[in-house]
Amino acid sequence: MPFLGQDWRSPGWRWVKTEDGWKRCEPFSPALEDGNNQLNDISHTVIITGNDENEEVYSTEDCEFAAKKRKKDHFRNNTDSQCFYREKWIYVHKESTKERHGYCTLGEAFNRLDFSSAIQDIRRFNYVVKLLQLIAKSQLTSLSGAAQKNYFNILDKIVQKVMEDQYNPRLIKDLLQDLSSTLCILIRGVGKSVLVGNINIWICRLETILLWQQQLKNLQMNKQVNNGLTLSDLPLHMLNNILYRFSDGWDIITLGQVTPTLYMLSEDRQLWKKLCQYHFAEKQFCRHLIPSEKGHIDWKLMYFALQKYYPIKEQYGDTLHFCRHCSILFWKDTGHPCTASDPNTCLMPVSPQHFIDLFKF
């Protein structure tokens, strides 16, 4: 009986086990066909083993079995003729049809969208970390066992990248803090079977998270030795322009700690006012006016006060996109097999929270 995939009209796919897991390959390859034809000839020969006194002639069935085994070994070892591919998009369907059985889950999407490669792209790094943080807060138990394993593998790669490049450690510290808090709560509820897998595995994962937190706490930033132009050499109007490009208040404070000049620029009332106006509506910050000693509004304190009550706007260099015509979720630069006459009109950027909401049923 042939293997039937999610699409009942499909004859199925041929899969090969490799060091990185199971890979799907093209069923038709000229190199494989030539090799298969040569291996098929073996099934018509008689194999004789042993010495002259104890000769053993294998039957035709044994020859066919040996031929099939050699064909399988040839198929696995001949890597030059194997053509693997993996789509970096996923069709988001929420109900069963004749063509597709079941529905798309969050874990399936997490496995298919190649987040391991995405974290190597600086444009997508913050997006993936924020997505992992949202999953850690509320959706960890909705992931399948394979998706949870993939989740922690990606998290391991993120931690190693931060340790090597010292890139945005504050973001990953927040993620690990939320994840450890969630796991502590879930491990206590093990009697309710809220976690997939052995409880000892989850305890080991929690210990690993605590170890990562300690490593990040002890992280020492490497001093860059550069005899060329530095940030301090830039004129004031350029430094001020750089500060106005930030959308996160903590980034402004961190940059202000570099030099006294940057600290002076980072305390500018107009800078924090623009930041409040960017993230919050006027009716929101009118409810939380915080006057300073001089009677002026303290926009800096008001920004952090508003942050506790309202979500701030999120900015990412690159995000996942959703095609309204095809109902496909994908990375924009990899594309997807769109059937619309003008695909660009159907695209919609997907925020991390929107990604989670897509798979709530």
Asked which of 90-104, 123-137, 159-173 is least confident by mean pLDDT, the reply is 90-104
- Residue 270 belongs to some domain of the structure: yes
How high is the pLDDT of residue 248?
86
Residue 154: band (very low, low, confident or very high) from pLDDT cuts 50, 70, 90: very high
Q: 3-class SS at 318?
A: coil
Residue owning tokens 């990185």 = 20
Higher-scoring residue by pLDDT: 63, 274? 274
Q: Does residue 317 contact residue 332 with C-beta atoms inside 8 Å?
A: no
**169 & 254 share domain:** no
**164 & 261 share domain:** no
Question: 331: phi > 0 → left, psi -120 to 50 → alpha, else beta; which?
Answer: beta
SS (H, E, C) 257-316: CCCHHHHHHHCCHHHHHHHHHHHCCHHHHCCCCCECCCCCECHHHHHHHHHHHCCCCCCC
Residue 32 predicted with pLDDT over 70: no
**184 & 260 share domain:** no
**46 Cβ contact partners less than 8 Å away, ≥ 6 residues apart:** 57, 58, 63
Question: 333: phi > 0 → left, psi -120 to 50 → alpha, else beta; which?
Answer: alpha
- Residue 186 belongs to some domain of the structure: yes
| 4-to-9, 99, 101 alpha-carbon distances in Å | 8, 11, 11
Q: 3-class SS at 238?
A: helix
Say whether pTM exceeds 0.85.
no
Could you list the residue range(s) of the whole structural domain that residue 286 is in? 248-309
- Residue 114 belongs to some domain of the structure: yes
**109 & 176 share domain:** yes
- Residue 17 belongs to some domain of the structure: no
Based on its alpha-carbon atoms, the radius of gyration of the chain, rounded to whole angstroms, reads 29
Output the average pLDDT for the chain.
76
Residue 210 predicted with pLDDT over 50: yes
Residue owning tokens 């550069």 = 226
Domain boundary among 197, 218, 239: 218
- Residue 240 belongs to some domain of the structure: no
**189 & 137 share domain:** yes
Higher-scoring residue by pLDDT: 244, 56? 244
Q: Which amino acid is at 181?
A: S
How high is the pLDDT of residue 44?
40
**214 & 108 share domain:** yes
- Tell me what percent of the residues of the chain surpass a pLDDT of 70: 70
Domain boundary among 273, 289, 309: 309
- Residue 50 belongs to some domain of the structure: no
- Residue 93 belongs to some domain of the structure: no
Average pLDDT over residues 3-12: 49
How high is the pLDDT of residue 86?
61
**173 & 120 share domain:** yes
Q: Which amino acid is at 20?
A: D
Residue 303: band (very low, low, confident or very high) from pLDDT cuts 50, 70, 90: confident
| Domain total in the chain | 2
**287 & 201 share domain:** no
Residue 192: band (very low, low, confident or very high) from pLDDT cuts 50, 70, 90: low
pLDDT tens digit sequence for 34-45: 544 544 443 443
**278 & 178 share domain:** no
- Residue 320 belongs to some domain of the structure: no
